[in-house]
Chains A and B, each alone.
Chain A
Amino acid sequence: MRLLHLDWPHLPFRIEAARAVAAGRPLPELVVIGGQPWQQAAVLDCSPAARRLGVLRGQPLGTAHRLVPEAAFLDADRQAYRAKLTAALEALARFTPALEGETDPDAAGFGRILLGIEGLGRLWGDEPALIARVVEAVRPLLPAVPRVGIGNTRFGAAVAAVRGEVVPAGGARTEAAYLAPLPIRLLPAEAPTRERLRVFGFSTIGEFGALSRSAVLARFGPAGAELHDLARGLDGRPLRPRRPVERLRAEAELEPPVEELEPLRFVLRSLSGALCEQLAARGAGAAHACLVLELEGSSRAAPAPIRIDQPLPEPAAAADLLERLLLARLTAQPPTAPVSRLALELSATAPAAGRQLGLFAPQLARAGQLDWQLAALAIRFGADRLLRARLRDPEAVLADQRSELVPASDE
């Protein structure tokens, strides 16, 4: 197995730094990302300078504030971080479907991407050429150049990325030979284990790997045995390719361009019908729709396309409901020029689950219909017109604090 490892250390910090530079207000040296010190949250990331002063990922923000009170504390924009890495994954998906990457900013593996590159030589060239192509593909999408390395196992590829090298192709023996002269601190050991390794006098991975496995197991336990396997080039963790984001897209060219809503409605109906048929055939539903209208204009000053993002109340494959909702959006925001192209994309697909009928709440059977109607009415009249009441504290002294009204479409 040949694996290409891409690593962007401190990715949230780098994204924030790039944003700040673009806005003309560079970040200070000490930055902690995750929220404000008084909030009950943990550190998501920090700048390398803050890291040197003891700030760690996952640390409470109050603790981080005691360590670096002068640091700038930023709120985490998790959605933006996720979107950036997802875009990079999609760009890399054209090289190979064997692609693994964690897009949750709170996960430990966020900022690392693994590509299975076995047998890609004929398609993309040799490994150095492939590295160059991969780096070129993600350079415009994420700030900073990633650390890249190729290995035969996950651990070998990660170490190679840290060192910016390529491990020679081969089996465990080749991997072990590559790792042997490297410092033992590269092993992913816990702090106590790392300290014990230092006390025992091990300085390289090879020295640790030369021990017998039974002796390591007796002295360091199962965790030590796993480290021993890594040192010997035996990393059994497989590559777990991500499930590609399922997107359904249909578009129609309008010749001549159309200005009125009624003809657009027919096109919209045919597009949503075609997509919903595909969804229904898969037994799935979509929870998000995106409609893009390209407007006609002179070649120099063509108006910007209109993009309508519409979350759906529930994953659905109902063409008429989808059409009604999008038409309500179009009515509220009519195109300013004739429409020359119309594209509809459905995303956030999920398996269509059967609806649970309410045994004790018969209203549940119609809750879906109500949600769709509320979504359409919220577009037409505004979400703050249709409310649901909720009790907060019936014993509160002030009448205002006893209950609240919240937009019905938010629930």
Chain B
Amino acid sequence: MPQNPHLSSALARLETRWGSAAVRLGTDGALALAAAAEPALSAPVGRDQAAPALADDIVPTGFPRLDALLGVGGLPRGVSASFRGPRSCGKTALALHCLAQAQARGTICAYLDLCRDFDPLEAVSRGVDLRWLLVLRPADPAEGFALAAALLAGRAVDLLVVDLPARLPARQEAALRRLAGHARRARVRLIVLEPVGLAAALHGALAESVGLRLELEQRAWLRAGRDVVGRCVAVNVAKNRFAPPGRQAELEIRYLADGEHAGALERFAERGRIAVAGEAEQAPTLLRLPA
């Protein structure tokens, strides 16, 4: 590595901002910056990037496009990730998909519900098995972080989702860092749902502590006929320890698989069949409208 202090400092800043894989050693010994945005979503991980974990230890996110961006195909054991975005941009849905995928691989998960708005029905519709999900509802954030740390120390859970409220006091920065440290030591996957209005100190702490940072932004609504059945979410990999950051993908997050939206889809499909009588095989199409 370079001995120049200025270069070291610059590299450290780059790595803090964009992840350790952002700056790579080229074949001729020169430093090369990874591309900020890669058009090919399924770009394979280069040989020079050592795979950080075994394939068995990877939990996919449930969205193959996103898994391709992450470099290792999902969330490795012991990684901390933060999903950042405004309200209703799909952070919780993405986290629930990760939970479901982790449970399908035989893990026990926990959800630290600091916002107190965990919806079991939505979790089930995203494929979560409630038998193997612990919901932590502390009296205050400090107790919540202590509870989560004690739970991680026992190593009985493999994935912890922390739903942070936007008005989390900035003094919880240390607790947040400690929790990330606990997760790393206990080799537990940690997913932090980070709202946009979080205090700067907390945001900074998270940006430094996590190994993977995804920024979510809603792009469009998905409509079936007159019914809104989902949304398109742009995911930007802001930091990634395992692959070049800066890549983007667009995910389609549908609303509940049952209930009125499913009914709307069915109605739409029925109408589609009637409208195209004689061409019954034609599938109804979803419309995409800008948000």
Contact = CB atoms under 8 A, between A and B. Distances in A.
B136 A386 contact: yes
Given A390-B120, A394-B121, A403-B121, A385 B138 contact: yes
- Chain B interface extent, by class: 20 to 34
A273 to B, nearest CB: 21
Contact of A370 (B108, B120, B137, B138): B108
Residue from the set B139, B143, B154, B157 with the largest chain A CB neighbour count within 10 Å: B154
B134 A408 contact: yes
Interface stretch (A254-262, A344-352, A373-381): A373-381
A385 B112 CA distance: 10
Nearest to A395: B259
Given A362-B106, A373-B151, A380-B150, A388 B134 contact: yes
Contacts of B143: 381, 385
Contact of B120 (A373, A384, A403): A403
Contacts of A369: 154, 156
Residue from the set A373, A384, A389, A403 with the largest chain B CB neighbour count within 10 Å: A389
A191 interface: no
A380 B154 CA distance: 14
Contacts of A386: 134-136, 147
A47 B119 CA distance: 51
Contacts of A405: 120, 135, 137
Nearest to B130: A389
Interface string A337-379: 0000000000000000000000001110010011001101100
Interface string B246-258: 0000000000001
A387 B135 contact: yes
A377 B151 contact: yes
Interface of A: 361-363, 366, 369-370, 373-374, 376-377, 380-381, 384-391, 394, 402-403, 405, 408
B123 interface: yes
Given A386-B134, A391-B120, A405-B137, A363 B147 contact: no
Contact of B154 (A373, A384, A394, A408): A373
A402 B134 CA distance: 18
B134 to A, nearest CB: 6
Interface string B131-160: 111111111000100110011001011000
Nearest to A392: B120
Contacts of A380: 150
Given A370-B156, A387-B135, A377 B130 contact: no
B174 to A, nearest CB: 20
B151 to A, nearest CB: 7
Contacts of A403: 119-121
A207 to B, nearest CB: 66
Interface in B134-193: 134-139, 143, 146-147, 150-151, 154, 156-157
Interface string B102-139: 01011110000000001111011000001111111111
Contacts of A384: 137
A363 B121 contact: no
A312 B176 CA distance: 32
A388 B132 CA distance: 8
A380 B138 CA distance: 12
A408 B106 CA distance: 19
A387 B137 contact: yes
A391 B130 contact: yes
B147 A377 contact: yes
14 contacts: A369-B156, A370-B157, A373-B151, A381-B138, A384-B137, A385-B136, A385-B138, A385-B147, A386-B135, A391-B121, A403-B119, A403-B121, A405-B120, A405-B135
A389 B120 contact: yes
B123 A389 contact: yes
Contacts of A402: 120-121
A170 to B, nearest CB: 64
Given A361-B132, A388-B134, A389-B135, 18 more contacts: A361-B106, A363-B107, A363-B132, A366-B108, A369-B154, A373-B156, A376-B154, A381-B147, A385-B136, A386-B134, A386-B147, A387-B135, A388-B133, A388-B135, A391-B121, A394-B124, A394-B258, A403-B121
A403 B118 CA distance: 11
B137 A385 contact: yes
A391 B124 contact: yes
Given A370-B156, A390-B120, A385 B139 contact: yes
B136 A387 contact: yes
A408 B156 CA distance: 14
A377 B106 CA distance: 23
A197 to B, nearest CB: 59
Contacts of A373: 151, 154, 156
